[in-house]
Structure 1
């Protein structure tokens, strides 16, 4: 009874389709979508997509902003405007407004600062820079940070007297003799280190107040100590305040520094050195595409084949001197072993010992082992054969059998009656087993 062979049905493709892959992972996709939507909603609710407000911005409610102070001024009937350019700030100053200047990025140059100070009757500068001090108050300089709260008013300014004390985080100013003679005075002295506030006359007779730090005006510190009293006293003396924060458009294009002026002097040498290092590394490591891969070969390479392969390489590159050096090193190693010399023996010591053992001339042996250089293949073959003969002679010179056999042949033998030459004590075959 014959049995029919089983039939095989072709199997379909087992690779999942895109729809199946999405169906398997739909739970994770839903979770990820929910997280993304939730993050977007939170950012919109918190104003995360709005551009960050500037430091001391009049509408900035962040800790570094000044919205709290601006709202208090408006509650006291002071109109606070925000000039968007230097021209707008100058126009507001001409109308009698107190100008608050905070040049965070040191945009205004000396001429523009002088124009603003000449026009304004009251100019309050928050955290002045070196350029601002040079242009507005020569002789007034920065002197670091205060050691803590300051309660020494040290001046007759009404706003300072109302404040009585300033919180921690103030920056100090020093006033030299020339500035003092020009009418500049300091308020809120921190021992002998300097003042947190300096006031003096402007170029056109107006009043300029230099506040060392922005701490007095920020939302974060406005309620500490007498910060609010000082800020309101400086800015609330007039019915209008121009809250001016210079931007990039207020800079003089002709005075803009070049890239070479902005970068330190060490940048160019380091850049050139980096380029040279990259080129050197590319030349060094660019000889091959990647690291060598160690692979076990299924065959064993015989030492003789390795030697023949190396010899073919020497022959192909005509490296006769290198080939002869290898032969010499091997020969001197075997000669040193035969003569019981140390493996670290110098070539001169091996040459002298070989000459003494064979009776050859020391100079010729030294030339054979060290000095001679082949000019062609024939000389290389001759030198190799001479090295082989030298090794044989050295080996023969220390072989005891040859010396004993020569001594027996030279000595006369007495084969008298009754004597058996095979029983001679010196005969090699006369020994009993």
Structure 2
């Protein structure tokens, strides 16, 4: 049997003309158009810059605020910030008063037993009312600045908070020498109301605001005299030089030669008596939460009924690849993602070329491109650029590249499988991946 009936080998196809730039291109210097982390960061550099500026601005604001407020708690004896009390403490020391800064309850109680005037500046409300009452029973002279409701209950029955003064207060209207020397107080004072029972027990108010209340209350305690100032305005650095604030502060704090300035801290909080979350929660929170839950349920039922009852419907199992391809193509076109669309075409072509060229599954993209160029006689660099590197500038170029990829695949198939039917589609119906 001779070989006269054997099929003739395929004719050598001429290599297509390629641009000079494609022939001279080095595949190692080709730029991949697959989205990378660097490319994503480059596209988002505007938002990254805006975020960096916002973060730097926030940090600068925190630094400036920290510099303005300074270190230390409000009314701290060593706090030079506007809310601190370093100014009045330094003046007291200059007048010969020995000022001892204490931050623990035991130290304050020891100073009270030694006869020193004790100032309690518990603006944050750390000190337990029972401990404050114990301190009042021990100190011969106790000054309490800006107490809360519980602290007033422990100090003086019948003395209550009464809001804020309407303006500056003129006239002491009491027999307290320090208040009489001050004469007036600046704006920003708090008010205390003294009922008849407290008056009968010896309590008096100074600097009245009409019938609303007094800026200061003074009366007897179990251990000595107690002075209550409703607001820290007369002692704070930023307001002590207004009106008679300084005279009042120096007068009530400088009566004795020793002064213990006590600012309670978090270590003074009694865990056993600390309020629970339910006690701290306002009473209106629970009804509002229940109302919101009811509204959410009603809204869900209302919106759900608008669409009618659910209908069971059998869906098709097999979706033709042509329909899937067309749908995805329309999505890509609508989103103008030419790079992603071209990548999908290249991935599919490379997978089929891998099988046609009988290459191992471990072969990379460039090995497949070079094998396809070797099989068809094309320029390796041009083939690699077609399958890997070239980026479509517009829709027209995307169509051209898609056609060129299809033509390359068909040429490889004709070269290596001359008996295959070129009109037979390799696509099978199925669900899209």
TM-score by length of 2: 0.55
User: Is 1:7 aligned to 2:7, yes or no?
Assistant: no
Q: Distance in 2 between matches of 1:213 and 1:219?
A: 13
Q: Distance in 1 between matches of 2:69 and 2:49?
A: 28
Q: Secondary structure at the match of 2:275?
A: coil
Q: For 1:305-384, what aligned pairs fall within 5 Å after superposition?
A: none
User: Is 1:54 aligned to 2:73, yes or no?
Assistant: yes
For residue 142 of structure 1, report the CA deviation from its aligned partner.
2.2
Q: Which residue in the other structure is 1:217 paired with?
A: 235
Question: Structure 1 residues 251 and 266, CA, compared in 2 at 3 Å: closer, same or farther?
Answer: same
For residue 271 of structure 1, report the CA deviation from its aligned partner.
3.1
Q: Which residue in the other structure is 1:188 paired with?
A: 207
Equivalent residues, number: 285
Q: Distance in 2 between matches of 1:185 and 1:156?
A: 8
Q: Distance in 1 between matches of 2:222 and 2:47?
A: 69
Which consecutive residues of structure 1, in runs of 5 or more, have no partner in the other structure?
Answer: 288-433
Q: Which residue in the other structure is 1:390 paired with?
A: none
Q: Which residue in the other structure is 1:264 paired with?
A: 282
Q: Distance in 2 between matches of 1:18 and 1:5?
A: 37
Larger mean Cα displacement after TM superposition, 246-255 or 68-77? 246-255
For residue 27 of structure 1, report the CA deviation from its aligned partner.
12
For residue 55 of structure 1, report the CA deviation from its aligned partner.
1.9
Question: Structure 1 residues 266 and 31, CA, compared in 2 at 3 Å: closer, same or farther?
Answer: closer
Q: For 1:242-257, what aligned pairs fall within 5 Å after superposition?
A: 242-257=260-275
Q: Secondary structure at the match of 2:17?
A: coil
CA displacement, residues 141-180 of structure 1 (integer Å, 9 cap, x when unaligned): 2223223222222122221122111112222222222212
Match of 1:197 among 211, 216, 232: 216
C-alpha contact (below 8 Å) 2:117/2:260 kept by paired residues = yes
Q: Which residue in the other structure is 2:92 paired with?
A: 73
Q: Distance in 1 between matches of 2:52 and 2:276?
A: 48
Which consecutive residues of structure 2, in runs of 5 or more, have no partner in the other structure?
Answer: 1-13, 306-433
RMSD, aligned α-carbons: 3.9
Larger mean Cα displacement after TM superposition, 226-235 or 165-174? 165-174
CA displacement, residues 390-427 of structure 1 (integer Å, 9 cap, x when unaligned): xxxxxxxxxxxxxxxxxxxxxxxxxxxxxxxxxxxxxx
Q: Distance in 1 between matches of 2:103 and 2:266?
A: 11
Match of 2:251 among 226, 230, 233: 233
Larger mean Cα displacement after TM superposition, 176-185 or 50-59? 50-59
CA displacement, residues 256-304 of structure 1 (integer Å, 9 cap, x when unaligned): 22222222334334434545655676788799xxxxxxxxxxxxxxxxx
For residue 233 of structure 1, report the CA deviation from its aligned partner.
0.7
Q: Which residue in the other structure is 1:208 paired with?
A: 226
Question: Structure 1 residues 253 and 17, CA, compared in 2 at 3 Å: closer, same or farther?
Answer: closer
Q: Distance in 2 between matches of 1:163 and 1:23?
A: 67
Q: Which residue in the other structure is 2:133 paired with?
A: 114
CA displacement, residues 332-376 of structure 1 (integer Å, 9 cap, x when unaligned): xxxxxxxxxxxxxxxxxxxxxxxxxxxxxxxxxxxxxxxxxxxxx
Match of 1:96 among 104, 115, 122: 115
